[in-house]
Amino acid sequence: MNTSSVTVENTEQQMKFPLLSVFSTSIGTSVLKVFDTEPTPQSGMVFDRSFVVIALVMYTIGLIMVASSSMPVAERLFNNPFHFVIRHTIYIVLSLGIAGVALQIPMAWWQKNSGYLLIFGIFLLVTVLLIGRSVNGSTRWIVLGPITVQAAEPAKLFFFCYLAAYLVRRRDQVMEDWKGFAKPLVVFAVLAGLLLRQPDLGTIIVMFVTTFGLLFLAGAKLWQFISLASVGVLLLSLLAIFEPYRWRRITSFLDPWQDPFGSGYQLTQSLMAYGRGEVFGQGLGNSIQKLEYLPEAHTDFVMAVLAEELGFIGIALILILSMVLVFKALMLGKKALAKEKFFEAFFAYAIGIWICFQAAVNVGASAGIVPTKGLTMPLISYGGSSMIIMTLAVVILIRIDHELRMQSIQATSSKRKTRKLREKSRGDNDK
């Protein structure tokens, strides 16, 4: 069948079903706008607005779920059911303020100062071990008056920034020599050692997976990956075996109902929440598990409360939003790579892998798919440091997209000017 026959058939279908045609065209246009990554100088679109839409929708859902899940515990601890809601709102406003400032920073600045940012991240990890506040046996927070900073969150972003800049400088060495492959792993080992002192194994795993993915995208050899994966799995296994509380988490994850009131308590309560949610949920605010049955319901296990109140539909919506964000980040990295913007490409890839894996671990832990880890749901869970850093990551994606669009617009404008000059010179010669 040739192209003309296909066109005729489509025209006939449009004449038979005009409403269906209009509906499908509008839906298709909307989908293309969401996934659009091409510059549109005619419409003045100099950045991808879908990043903003997705972030705001996730902000809103997160605020609603934090409000729903935190009121019982806030009433008991602070005699104010809106305590965590107010703080979460402040975190969102603060994140938007920082986003407005960070949006003005060019990507060249991030690349130039990646080493200094890494040093600052290491400084934060050392500082938290010296003067940090301990909660439930973990020392992860630096108290600055009314503000608490979780040092691991900015350390992750700064390490990924450094890694992207390193792969630009040493890409050939990474592909050809084992020394180029090993150098970023040494930096990772330093950060992992500091994180183990907190302890924070979840952040280490996120950084390891992201590093693994970036080195793969940079073109490292297969044997290097096999070696890295083998060593990583071995070390993580040893960390779990020789640390009693981590081993209890693994055993309780495999069979939480063996000790439902001990090591498996949190997971069994989370599974009950998922079970009660069914398809459409019990309705917003009607969760039972949040009534202090499920610990940390507004932080690490906010998705369990969401599943109980909004059901499978609510969980599916959050996962779709997260995956669209991840997909757009990866496509943005591909676009930057095609235009030889290697730092921007690797940074976008790192952010995409980071958000994808952290979201998967958070939902998987609350659903009993993976062992419990203290990782927040990006842009959803309660937590100021996580909210600010994840917002900053989305802003970096917007900035990368903006610079790529401006480059394309400038290239198009220069071509038009060149064409006009040529036409003018030809006209003068004809005269």
H/E stretch holding 134 reads strand 133-135
The pLDDT, as a whole number, for residue 11 is 44
The pLDDT, as a whole number, for residue 102 is 92
Instruction: Reduce the DSSP state of residue 147 to 3 states and report it.
Output: strand
The pLDDT, as a whole number, for residue 333 is 92
3-state secondary structure 198-259: CCCHHHHHHHHHHHHHHHHHHCCCHHHHHHHHHHHHHHHHHHHHCCHHHHHHHHHHHCHHHC
Instruction: Reduce the DSSP state of residue 77 to 3 states and report it.
Output: helix
CB atoms within 10 A of CB 17: 12
Among 186, 181, 254, 249, CA closest to 219: 181
The pLDDT, as a whole number, for residue 415 is 65
Cβ 312 vs Cβ 277: under 8 Å:
yes
Cβ 164 vs Cβ 350: under 8 Å:
yes
Question: What order do you get walking across the sheet with 138-144 strand by strand?
Answer: 133-135, 138-144, 147-150
Per-residue model confidence as pLDDT tens for the chain (431 residues): 444 443 444 444 444 444 334 333 433 444 444 444 454 444 456 778 889 999 999 999 999 999 988 888 888 888 888 889 999 999 999 999 999 999 999 999 999 999 999 999 999 999 988 888 877 667 788 887 777 888 889 999 999 999 999 988 887 777 777 777 778 888 888 998 898 888 788 888 889 889 888 888 877 777 777 777 777 777 777 776 766 666 676 666 677 777 777 777 888 888 898 988 888 889 888 888 888 788 878 888 889 999 999 999 999 999 999 999 999 999 999 999 998 899 999 999 999 999 999 999 889 888 888 877 778 889 998 888 899 999 999 999 999 999 998 888 776 666 666 676 666 666 666 55
The pLDDT, as a whole number, for residue 3 is 42
Cβ 111 vs Cβ 399: under 8 Å:
no
Instruction: Reduce the DSSP state of residue 339 to 3 states and report it.
Output: coil
Among 64, 62, 65, 35, CA closest to 51: 35
The pLDDT, as a whole number, for residue 355 is 93
The pLDDT, as a whole number, for residue 269 is 87
The pLDDT, as a whole number, for residue 39 is 46
The pLDDT, as a whole number, for residue 425 is 65
The pLDDT, as a whole number, for residue 293 is 85
